[in-house]
Amino acid sequence: MPYWDKKHETMPLQDLKELQLKRLKNVVRTVYEKNEFYHKKLKDAGVKPDDIKTLDDITKIPFLTKDDLRQYYPFGLLCVPLDEVVEVHASSGTTGKPVVGAYTKNDLEVWGEVMARSLYANGLRRGDVMQNAYGYGLFTGAHGFEKGAQKIGAMVVPISSGNTKRQITIMKDFGTTALASTPSYSLYMAEVAEEMGFSPADDFKLRLGLFGAEAWSDEMRKAIEKRWGITAYEHYGLTEIIGPGVVSECEEKHLHINADHFLPEVIDPKTGEQLEPGEEGELVFTTLTKEAFPVLRFRTKDIAVYTEEECECGRTLPIQSRIKGRSDDMMKVKGVIVFPSQVEEAMMKVEGISGNYVLVKERKGAMTSLKVRVEPTEERYSQGSLGKLAEAAEEEIYAMLNIHVPVEIVEPNSLPRSVGKAKRVVEE
Ligand SMILES: [Zn+2]
């Protein structure tokens, strides 16, 4: 049986929409009655719970932004008494106050369920050994993966991030079959494994990569799969929504939205207007079942496409494309919109380019210029004539974006490594 929750993962779209509407009505009524801020926000917009008669009526509800969440830090948006909250998480808060996620017992149950769905869709089973190299702490990542994996009955190794040599030793000794981490950290782990004298693709039992928390390209995915000899899956989520578990990536590598719990919309980031399936825009989510901290129309700033096409895997849950980038990361270079993930995708097509790179942004007045610093693989580096490699990378970038972006080849192991989210854009 390929599904964790066959009923919800394969329900006819019409039934799903009916369930979504029933739950939407319920959550709108709850926030209206239980939370002062939401009550005022809806009242100011002239919306009453009874005005939600169809799914389209959701557009009457104003958006919720990260700034709203910060304004009501830490518990101002709770819809249950504080003593019903049994776990809290928070985002890193590097750009202001952190965003707090609060969970009731039932919220944790839902979180475990959607994560089990995602991990089961990736092929994780009882008997697997999942090395959990996301950072344990306030960040949701590690905890979501742990809850889902344990629900399935897999063994969790809660090693957290960092201490990379120890990660490799544990991976070998414990017979790790699944690695949960950021994609960039998995590449760093492969480097360290090689330094320790291992061949990552041959010397471990690893077969699954459970990656998330970063925008990464399909080309990067292929590079990681080859290096480790694994199948790599994408995970997507946000602290504001629940953490990881918003989508389940199936064997066809389609990201099915767990839309019985999280109602997706795609909007034009400029006008806020709802877009049709198939059109690219900003993802917006409404939580349908969360009790402690429901969000209505939360603007994620993540750019993607939403579709309701049938999938070979048999799941009927709608599909979102991989995240092209965050609207915050979008750069305008020589009049062209550029996402870091596009530059990554172009460069990774060139044989001998490694996954370690940074985009260097330089501002001169209103103009932004861009260049790339990238490491070649050790093997390619030793062959010399690096100018040719830079040229090949520049050509691929030009083919994708139609702008010339200079590529600087730097020595292997000279760019900073991260054990969590990689910092891909720097300003100089
Ligand atoms: Zn599918």
Distance between Cα 273 and ligand 1 center (Å): 28
Distance between Cα 356 and ligand 1 center (Å): 30
φ, ψ dihedrals at 59, nearest 5°: -65, -15
Q: Beta strand pairing status for 129-132 and 178-181?
A: parallel
Distance between Cα 265 and ligand 1 center (Å): 19
Q: Classify domain 330-427 at the CATH topology level.
A: GMP Synthetase; Chain A, domain 3 (3.30.300)
Alpha helices (runs of H) in 200-355, residue ranges in sequence order: 218-228, 340-347
How much is the pLDDT for 1? 66
Q: Under 8 Å CB-to-CB from 373, ≥6 apart: which residues?
A: 357, 358, 360, 408, 410, 415
- In whole angstroms, what separates CA 341 from the centre of its chain? 13
The pair of structure tokens assigned to 301 is 């700033």
How much is the pLDDT for 119? 98
Distance between Cα 260 and ligand 1 center (Å): 16
How much is the pLDDT for 406? 95
The beta strand positions in 253-324, using DSSP E, are: 255-257, 262-267, 280-287, 298-307, 319-320
Q: What is the mean pLDDT of residues 268-286?
A: 96
pLDDT tens for residues 226-254? Answer: 999 999 999 999 999 999 999 999 999 99
> Read out DSSP for 356-378?
EEEEEEEEETTEEEEEEEEEEPH
How much is the pLDDT for 310? 87
The pair of structure tokens assigned to 154 is 């897999």
Q: Beta strand pairing status for 367-376 and 331-333?
A: unpaired
pLDDT tens for residues 136-164? Answer: 999 999 999 999 999 999 999 999 999 99
Q: Is the pLDDT of residue 92 over 80?
A: no
Residue with the two structure tokens 């600087």: 408
Q: Could you state, in order of their start, the residue ranges of all structural domains in the chain? A: 1-326, 330-427
How much is the pLDDT for 307? 96
CATH superfamily assigned to domain 1-326 = ANL, N-terminal domain (3.40.50.12780)
Tell me the residues surrounding ligand 1 (ion) with CB < 5 Å: 250, 252, 254, 311, 313, 315
Q: Is the pLDDT of residue 94 over 70?
A: no
Residue 287's nearest CA partner among 44, 100, 82, 64 is 64
